[in-house]
């Protein structure tokens, strides 16, 4: 049969788009808090106040006159990332992985001159990459040194961990691995591999590409079941504390792992997708319902919430 | 939970309000459910001939009153040189021609249009017509008295008495008394009236016209209306003096209910009135609208606007239907469209251009627009000026297509100008950005989704039945609104999600 029975889906607790929009995003995410999440610079600022680790902020360029001074931020770094604060879908992100005697190199080895870097920043300020073309600011961040635990699991891109945090409870997690098909991007609908991650251990449960189960990474051939996210405790703690920090009830947190600095928050998403259910091979609704059943005055600390989730949402 | 209950009460309220208004309009104003329904209109001419004698003339023709089965839509008269007025003294409507001086043969025409209208009823009879003193002698004769006496014995009321009289008058072998009366040079109708009058029963002479398509030179058929009062209520029945059968009022227009004369003429002689008629089938709605001109029933509807504005509303009132289709497609099916309500706008353009021309034109414009737009993206322009450039480009393209198709003799191509240019430009811009960000596949998914929804919306919005319903029943707007509200609270799965999550459902 081409279609699954809706009753079967319901019995498995799978959440659909309509329910996500009206039952969770509409109900738990106050509209006025969206700018905190949609603007990466604002996210960074509140994260710093809440002691949530984020990639190092090297500098911010908000007016054209400052563009000329970019060199002071990037001259002595091992690598850096320039991104638009209000960019969407990974647009306008310039990644420099090697800085050598005033020359800058992209991950694929192409050289980028300082003038080209400046033009890129000008484009960002003009709003070329932001939604609706509104004026934007450029954020310069330190380069993330990927943890070697992910060697072979990702192809030309940033592997990140998406944790759905519902009212402060980390209810479901997945790892997104870029592939050749996804062109180095970590979006599942573009062909990235999604790996469901056990909330208690950080170990892989299940993996899918294009919504179909896969066992091995399509480019590197690495067995995906072996994936284990290191420093999982710290990662899930950071993700959970994003609730207090942002005020968003239904939140997607994108975490990355730095070799030296450990887990850090890359960005927040107020409208996290549904693919995480497919990656986990499980519906998210029973978990959301369980958290909802606790009510609002349980007064649980971040640690207690994580304990609760580990107890109830783990496979083992 | 209270908010939930309030919501459903609101939806149910809107829905029932809409349905009630719709049904009420259908029942009360007789607006048909289907656009093609027709109603019969009789177009009747009365032709009056007479000789004028070189002096002032007043000709007054009795015209039909309100009656069961028919509604008068319009009346007019053609009569060169005559002054004309339509009089209605509350009892009998009349058309009156007047002229200071006329000589020789005169012909006057009176035309009336009546709608066959099952909803129309006879007016209530408030008072009996008067009894006459002595007009006919039949009842005075001894024979007449005997007939009345016989009939009284075998009858119970005025109607059965009239039937008894008819039996005697129309017997195959009339008895002596009847034969005696019938030898008089008067019609059976006159005899019947005289006999009834003799028995103190109120009557009125009626002139009725049998309606039959294409008949000419018809005359009124004399009928007798017999009145009877029972418990304070006056009722009446029609009798035909020449037959025992009851009078069938289908296709029978009671033209002259004055009880006096069809035509009153002063200053002329040898008058004749003859009738000709044709039957016309008219769309029910326009027939009703003609009818309502007299009744002001539609005053609070869109029909009271000037025709030009009405046709504007015809388009606007269809939009909710297109919107409903979009909501259904997105919420129930899960189709991706570029721009939420862009499909509705495209559908409206399709209505102007016709579907095939519109589709070809749209795909051509957007396709070529995308190619040119991809060049623009190399120029690193700001959004506003980029879109402005695309708008100018789209206008040039439309002009080019228009001229080209005209030169090639394809006048259909000129319809391309109906496309909303700003919308097209935004579509091109969005598609282009989408192409760069998500790849060609996404462009075809969203573009195809938009076109599919647009075509569906086009079919919903251009359909004759839906156009008729949405325009004539404003209540349906409430129904559509309640459906949209209801869809807004739907939290179930979308159809495409059933496909997407299928691997998950099949697990284990």
pLDDT at position A33 over 60: yes
Residue B502, pLDDT > 60, answer: yes
What phi, psi does B24 have (nearest 5°)?
Answer: -60, -40
ipTM of the complex: 0.78
Strands B93-117 and B268-283: unpaired
- What integer pLDDT is reported at residue B306 of this predicted model? 66
CATH number at residue A219: 3.30.470.20
d(CA B95, CA A314): 95
Q: Which residues of A touch B490 (CB under 8 A)?
A: 18
Q: Is the pLDDT of residue B380 over 70?
A: no
Tell me whether residue A131 is in a domain.
yes
Which residue in A234, A255, A244, A235 sits closest to A168, CA to CA? Answer: A244
Q: Give the tens place of pLDDT for each residue, B381-428.
A: 666 787 788 888 888 888 888 888 888 877 766 777 777 777 788 888
User: What is the 8-class DSSP label of residue B302?
Assistant: G
Tell me the C-alpha to C-alpha distance, in Å, between residue A139 and each of A45, A73, A120, B192.
12, 11, 12, 109
Q: Which residue has the higher pLDDT, B138 or B347?
A: B347
pLDDT of residue B292: 60
Both A226 and A186 in a single domain?
Answer: yes
Q: Is residue A94 part of a domain?
A: yes
For range A81-110, the mean pLDDT? 82
Instruction: Assess whether A173 and A194 both reside in one domain.
Output: yes
CB-CB under 8 Å, A282 with B503 = no
Contact list, A4 vs chain B (CB under 8 Å): 498-499, 501-502, 504-506
Interface contact flag, A9 B438, Cβ < 8 Å: no
Q: Round to the nearest angstrom and report the end-to-end CA distance of chain A.
A: 32
* Angular region, B8: left φ>0, alpha ψ -120 to 50, beta rest: alpha
Q: What percent of chain B has pLDDT over 90?
A: 10
| β-bridge mates for residue B203, sequence order | B226
Give ∠ CA B396-B397-B402 in degrees, rounded to 5: 100
Q: Do A306 and A258 fall into the same domain?
A: yes
What is the distance in angstroms between the Cα of B417 and the nearest Cα belonging to chain A? Answer: 28
Q: Which helix (H) or strand (E) holds B283?
A: strand B268-283
Q: Quick check: A72 pLDDT over 90?
A: no
**Pairs of CB atoms within 8 A across A/B:** 83
Report d(CA A36, CA A268) in Å as an integer: 9
Instruction: Count Cα neighbours of B119 within 13 Å in the Cβ-side half-sphere.
Output: 12
What percentage of chain B carries pLDDT values higher than 70? 90
Q: In chain B, which residue's Cα lies nearest the Cα of A9?
A: B505
Q: Residues in chain A whose beta carbon is closer than 8 A to a beta carbon of chain B?
A: 2-6, 8-10, 12, 14, 16-19, 22-23, 89, 91, 123, 126-128, 132-133, 190, 208, 211-213, 274, 277-278, 281-283
pLDDT > 90: percent of chain A: 10
On whether both A240 and A129 belong to a single domain, the answer is no
Both A208 and A73 in one domain: the answer is no
Burial of B217 (0-12, 13-18, 19+ CB in 10 A): exposed
Nearest Cα to Cα of residue A49 among A30, A34, A36: A36
On whether both A155 and A83 belong to a single domain, the answer is: no
- How high is the pLDDT of residue A296? 81
A253 in any annotated domain: yes
SS3 per-residue string spanning B354-379: CHHHHHHHHHHHHHHHHHHHHHHHHH
Most confident of B165-174, B176-185, B489-498: B489-498
Q: Where are the domains of chain B?
A: 37-130+202-299, 311-500
Residue A1 lies inside a defined structural domain of this protein: no
- Rounded to whole angstroms, the Cα distance separating A39 from A50 reads 17
Can you tell me whether residue B281 is helix, strand or coil?
Answer: strand
Q: Which of A4, A128, A133 sits opposite B501 (nearest CB)?
A: A4
Tokens of B150: 């016989």
Residue B290 has pLDDT above 70, yes or no: no
* pLDDT at residue B484, rounded to an integer: 93
Interface contact flag, A3 B334, Cβ < 8 Å: no
Token pair belonging to A122? 């000008």
Computed on alpha carbons and rounded to an integer, the radius of gyration of chain A in Å comes to 20
> Taking CB atoms and an 8 Å cutoff, what residues of chain B touch A212?
503
Residue B199 CA: distances (Å) to CA of B131, B162, B164: 10, 10, 13
B500 touches chain A (CB under 8 A): yes
What does the alpha-carbon distance between residue B304 and residue B300 come to, in Å, rounded to a whole number?
Answer: 7
Q: How far is CA B128 from the centre of its chain?
A: 36
Residue B508 has a pLDDT of: 60
pLDDT of residue A177: 87
- Checking if the pLDDT of B325 tops 90, the result is yes
Q: What is the pTM of this model?
A: 0.69
pLDDT of residue B301: 64
Within an 8 Å CB–CB cutoff, is residue B440 touching chain A?
Answer: no
Least confident of A107-111, B362-366, B490-494: A107-111
Tell me, yes or no, whether A106 and A167 share the same domain: no
As for how many domains chain A has, the answer is 2
Locate all alpha helices (DSSP H) within B42-157, ordered by sequence: 142-153
Checking if the pLDDT of A120 tops 80, the result is yes
Residue B215 DSSP class: -
| Residue B45: predicted pLDDT | 87
The model's pLDDT over B27-41, given as tens digits with 9 standing for 90+, comes to 877 777 887 677 788
User: What confidence tier does B332 reach under pLDDT thresholds 50, 70, 90?
Assistant: very high
Q: What is the pLDDT of residue B472?
A: 81
Cβ contact A278–B439 (<8 Å) = no
Contact B503 A277 (CB under 8 A): no
Residue B494 touches partner A, C-beta closer than 8 Å: yes
pLDDT in tens, B441-454: 888 888 899 999 99
d(CA A315, CA A287): 13
Same domain, A137 and A152: no
Q: What angle do CA B180, B186, B192 make, to 5 degrees?
A: 80
Q: What's the confidence (pLDDT) of residue B480? A: 94
Binned at pLDDT 50, 70 and 90, residue B73 comes out as confident
Q: Give the nearest partner residue to A18 out of B331, B438, B498, using CB atoms.
A: B331
Question: What DSSP designation does B135 have?
Answer: S
Q: What are the CA-CA distances from residue A75 to residues A61, A103, A107, A260 (Å)?
A: 15, 9, 17, 21
B233 in contact with chain A, both atoms CB, cutoff 8 A: no
Mean per-residue pLDDT for B112-136?
Answer: 77
- From the CA of A50, how many Å to the nearest CA of chain B? 33
Reported as a pLDDT band with limits 50, 70 and 90, residue B486 is: very high
End-to-end CA distance of chain B: 37
Nearest to B500 among A123, A132, A211 (CB): A211
Q: A213 and A98 in one domain?
A: no
pLDDT at A305 over 70: yes
Q: Which domain-ending residue is among A142, A172, A202?
A: A142
Chain B partners of A23 at a C-beta cutoff of 8 Å?
Answer: 491
Q: What is the pLDDT of residue A216?
A: 87
Choosing from A126, A142, A158, the residue where a domain stops is A142
- Whether residue A138 is found in the same domain as residue A200: no
Distance from CA of A19 to the nearest CA of B (A): 4
So what's the pLDDT on residue B187? 79
Running DSSP on this structure, what letter comes out for residue B242? T
User: How is chain A classified by DSSP, letter by letter?
Assistant: --S--HHHHHHTTPPPHHHIIIIIIHHHS-GGGHHHHH-HHHHHHHHHHTT---S-EEEEE-SGGGGGGHHHHHTT-S-EEEEETTB-TTTT-EEE-EEETTEEE-TTS-EE-HHHHHHHHHHHHHTSSBGGG----EEEEEPP-B-GGGTTT-SSS--EEEEEEETTEEEEEEEEE--TTTTT---GGGT-EEEEE-TTT-BEEEEEETTEE-SB-TTT--BGGG-B-TTHHHHHHHHHHHHHHH--SEEEEEEEEETTTEEEEEEEESS--SHHHHHHTS-SHHHHHHHHHT-S-----HHHHHHHHHHHH---
A273/A188 Cα distance (integer angstroms): 9
pLDDT at residue B351 in the model: 85
Show the tokens assigned to A296: 């609002």
More confidently predicted of B240 and A131: B240
Over the stretch A202-257, which tens digit does the pLDDT of each residue have?
888 888 888 888 888 888 888 888 888 888 888 999 899 888 888 889 999 999 88
Q: Average the pLDDT over B261-272 and give the result.
A: 87
Q: How far is CA A127 from CA A45, A85, A255, A258, B380, in A?
A: 21, 10, 26, 30, 11
Tokens standing for A68?
């000329």
pLDDT at B477: 92
Is residue A112 assigned to a domain?
Answer: yes
| CB atoms A132 and B497 under 8 Å | no
Span B371-390, mean pLDDT?
A: 78
Q: Mean pLDDT for chain B?
A: 82
Average the pLDDT over B18-47 and give the result: 82
Of B439, B491, B504, the CB nearest to A18: B491
Residue in B74, B82, B81, B152 with CA at minimum distance from that of residue B113: B74
Strand partners, B239: B224
Residues A131, A158 within the same domain: no
Candidates B485, B486, B489, B500: best to mutate against A (most CBs of A within 10 A) is B500
Name the minimum distance, in Å, from the CA of A286 to any CA of chain B.
Answer: 15
Gap from A276 CA to chain B (nearest CA, Å): 11
- B490 touching chain A per CB within 8 A: yes
Contacts of B498 in chain A (CB under 8 A): 3-6, 9
Inside any domain, residue A258: yes
**Last residue of some domain: A117, A142, A167?**
A142
Cα–Cα dist A42/A38, whole Å: 8
Same domain as A292, residue A175 = yes
Instruction: State the Cα–Cα distance between residues A73 and A139, nearest whole angstrom.
Output: 11
Does the distance separating the beta carbons of B505 and A16 come in below 8 Å? no
Chain B residue closest to A212 (CA)? B503
User: What are the Cα distances from residue A81, in Å, to A156, A236, B397?
Assistant: 15, 25, 42
Q: Determine the average pLDDT of the residues in B91-116.
A: 86
pLDDT at residue number A230: 85
Q: How many CB atoms lie within 10 A of CB B68?
A: 14
8 Å CB contact of A5 and B500: no
Indicate the SS3 state at residue B461: helix
Per-residue pLDDT band for A282 (boundaries 50, 70, 90) equals: confident
Residues of A in contact with B506 (CB under 8 A): 4
- Report the residue from B437, B491, B502 with minimal CB separation from A3: B502
Asked if A6 and B493 come within 8 Å (Cβ–Cβ), the reply is yes
- From the CA of A288, how many Å to the nearest CA of chain B? 15
Q: Is the distance from CB of A96 to CB of A80 less than 8 angstroms? A: yes
Written as six digits, the tokens of A171 are 């209810």
- Supply the CATH number for residue A105's domain: 3.30.1490
Say whether A123 and B380 touch across the interface (CB within 8 A). yes
User: Is A76 contained in some domain?
Assistant: yes
Q: Is A49 within a domain?
A: no
Residue A126, domain extent: 56-142
């Amino acid at each position: 049969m081409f279609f699954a029975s809706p009753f079967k889906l319901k019995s498995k607790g799978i959440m659909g788009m309509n329910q996500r929009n009206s039952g969770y995003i509409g109900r738990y995410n106050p509209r006025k808090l969206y700018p905190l999440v949609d603007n990466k610079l604002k996210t960074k600022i509140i994260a710093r106040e809440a002691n949530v680790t984020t990639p190092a902020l090297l500098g911010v360029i908000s007016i054209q006159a400052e563009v000329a001074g970019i060199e002071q931020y990037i001259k002595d770094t091992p690598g850096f990332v320039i991104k638009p604060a209000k960019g969407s879908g990974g647009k306008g992100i310039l990644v420099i992985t090697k800085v050598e005697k005033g020359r800058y190199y992209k991950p694929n080895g192409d050289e980028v001159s300082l003038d080209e870097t400046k033009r890129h920043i000008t484009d960002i300020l003009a709003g070329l990459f932001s939604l609706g073309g509104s004026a934007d600011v450029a954020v310069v961040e330190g380069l993330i040194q990927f943890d070697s635990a992910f060697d072979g699991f990702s192809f030309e891109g940033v592997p990140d961990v998406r944790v759905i945090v519902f009212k402060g409870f980390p209810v479901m997690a997945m790892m997104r691995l870029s592939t050749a098909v996804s062109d180095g991007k970590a979006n599942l609908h573009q062909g990235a591999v999604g790996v469901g991650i056990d909330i208690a251990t950080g170990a892989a449960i299940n993996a899918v590409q294009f919504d179909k189960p896969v066992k091995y990474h399509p480019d590197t051939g690495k067995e995906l079941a072996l994936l284990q996210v290191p420093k999982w405790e710290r990662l899930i703690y950071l993700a959970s504390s994003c609730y207090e920090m942002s005020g968003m009830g239904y939140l997607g947190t994108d975490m990355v792992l730095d070799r030296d600095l450990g887990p850090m928050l890359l960005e927040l998403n107020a409208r996290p997708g549904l693919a995480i259910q497919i990656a986990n091979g499980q519906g998210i609704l029973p978990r959301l319902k369980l958290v909802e059943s606790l009510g609002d005055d349980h007064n649980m600390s971040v640690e207690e919430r994580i304990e609760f989730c580990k107890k109830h949402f783990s496979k083992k | 939970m209270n908010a939930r209950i309030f919501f459903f009460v609101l939806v149910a309220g809107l829905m029932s309000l809409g349905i009630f208004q719709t049904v009420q309009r259908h029942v009360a104003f007789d607006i048909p459910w289907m656009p093609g329904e027709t109603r019969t209109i009789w177009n009747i001419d009365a032709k009056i001939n007479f000789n004028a004698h070189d002096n002032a003339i007043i000709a007054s023709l009795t015209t039909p009153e309100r009656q069961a089965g028919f509604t008068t839509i319009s009346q007019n008269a053609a009569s060169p040189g005559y002054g004309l007025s339509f009089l209605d003294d509350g009892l009998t409507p009349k058309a009156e021609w007047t002229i200071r001086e006329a000589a020789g043969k005169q012909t006057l025409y009176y035309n009336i249009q009546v709608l066959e209208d099952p909803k129309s009823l006879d007016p209530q009879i408030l008072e009996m017509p008067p009894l006459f003193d002595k007009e006919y002698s039949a009842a005075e004769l001894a024979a007449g008295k005997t007939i009345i006496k016989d009939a009284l014995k075998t009858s119970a009321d005025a109607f059965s008495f009239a039937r008894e009289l008819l039996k005697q008058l129309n017997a195959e072998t009339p008895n002596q008394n009847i034969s005696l009366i019938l030898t008089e040079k008067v019609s059976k109708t006159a005899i019947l009236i005289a006999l009834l009058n003799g028995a103190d029963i109120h009557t009125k002479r009626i002139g009725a016209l049998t309606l039959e398509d294409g008949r000419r030179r018809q005359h009124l058929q004399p009928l007798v209306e017999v009145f009877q009062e029972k418990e304070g209520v006056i009722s009446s029945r029609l009798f035909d003096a020449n037959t025992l059968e009851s009078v069938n009022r289908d296709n029978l227009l009671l033209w002259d209910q004055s009880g006096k004369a069809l035509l009153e003429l002063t200053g002329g002689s040898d008058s004749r009135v003859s009738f000709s008629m044709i039957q016309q089938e008219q769309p029910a709605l326009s027939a009703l609208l003609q009818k309502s001109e007299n009744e002001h029933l539609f005053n609070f509807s869109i029909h009271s606007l000037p025709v030009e504005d009405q046709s504007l509303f015809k388009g606007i009132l269809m939009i909710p239907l297109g919107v409903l289709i979009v909501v259904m497609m997105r919420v129930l099916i899960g189709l991706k469209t570029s721009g939420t309500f862009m499909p509705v706008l495209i559908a409206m353009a399709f209505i102007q251009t016709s579907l095939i021309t519109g589709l070809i034109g749209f795909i051509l414009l957007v396709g070529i627009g995308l190619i040119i737009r991809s060049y623009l993206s190399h120029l690193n322009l700001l959004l506003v000026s980029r879109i402005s450039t695309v708008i100018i480009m789209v206008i040039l393209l439309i002009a080019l297509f228009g001229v080209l198709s005209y030169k090639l003799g394809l006048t259909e191509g000129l319809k391309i100008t109906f496309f909303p240019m700003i919308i097209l430009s935004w579509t091109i811009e969005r598609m282009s950005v989408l192409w760069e960000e998500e790849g060609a596949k996404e462009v075809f998914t969203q573009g195809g989704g938009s076109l599919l929804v647009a075509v569906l919306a086009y079919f919903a919005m251009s359909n004759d039945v839906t156009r008729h319903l949405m325009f004539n029943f404003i209540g349906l707007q409430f129904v559509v609104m309640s459906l949209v509200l209801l869809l807004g609270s739907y939290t179930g799965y979308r159809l495409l999600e059933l496909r997407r999550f299928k691997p998950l459902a099949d697990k284990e």
